[in-house]
Amino acid sequence: MEINAAQVKELREVTGAGIMDCKQALQESGGDVEKAMRILREKGLAGAQKKAGRTVADGMVDAYIHINNRIGVLLEVNCETDFVARNETFRVMVHDIAMHIAAAKPLFVSPEDVPETVLAEEREINRNRALKEGKPEKVVDKIVEGRMKKFFEEVCLLEQPFVKDPDITVGQLVKQIIAAVGENVVVRRFVRFQVGEDIEE
């Protein structure tokens, strides 16, 4: 299929990918821009994996205060250089994640951050629940692992569906940014405040 320059230009403006990459993605998708975007995203994510081990000593702290002044978030996201830390794409992404934290109330950054005592208790609760439901012993472990995956999606930031685009997780959003800025990016820590939270009346 013949791909014209206007199609390549449109895809390039949306994705920021190179001319030849855009042309190849359009050829693979038969000229379908949406499919081509997905192809580029997948290729970008593959590239992001290679950068994931690199040192992140720069970055930024962002503050998000919800419109009613009752919820606030402080978030630290690290990158490799101050050049990327000042990059508008990076800064917008960090602010979007801070806003997501305000809305979605994660407790941890990733499953690796969940304390072992919390994991053990959650597994035991789900195991007992499955047994009480009359599930056969041989499938209980699989059920527990499935429910633990759901637990991580609820409490871990990187596993949660991104509030502005529920088709991707926050972790996938970070990988897209890695692909866009060409550096490793790591969500390091956050704290979420809500007026009156944990105060017994």
Contacts of residue 103, defined as CB under 8 A and 6 or more positions apart, other chains included, come to 163
pLDDT for the residue 96: 96
CATH of domain 115-154: 1.10.286
- Please, what sign has the CA dihedral across residues 30, 31, 35, 38? positive
Give the tokens for residue 47.
């590239």
pLDDT for the residue 154: 93
pLDDT for the residue 18: 67
Domain ranges of the chain: 5-51, 58-110+156-194, 115-154
CATH class held by domain 5-51: mainly alpha
Higher-confidence position of 42 and 192: 192
Distance CA 150, CA 100 (A): 18
User: For residue range 91-105, what is the model confidence (pLDDT) as tens digits?
Assistant: 999 999 999 999 999
Distance CA 11, CA 197 (A): 45
Higher-confidence position of 41 and 113: 113
Out of 118-127, 136-145, 150-159, least confident range = 136-145
CATH of domain 58-110+156-194: 3.30.479.20
The β-bridge partners of 161 are 169
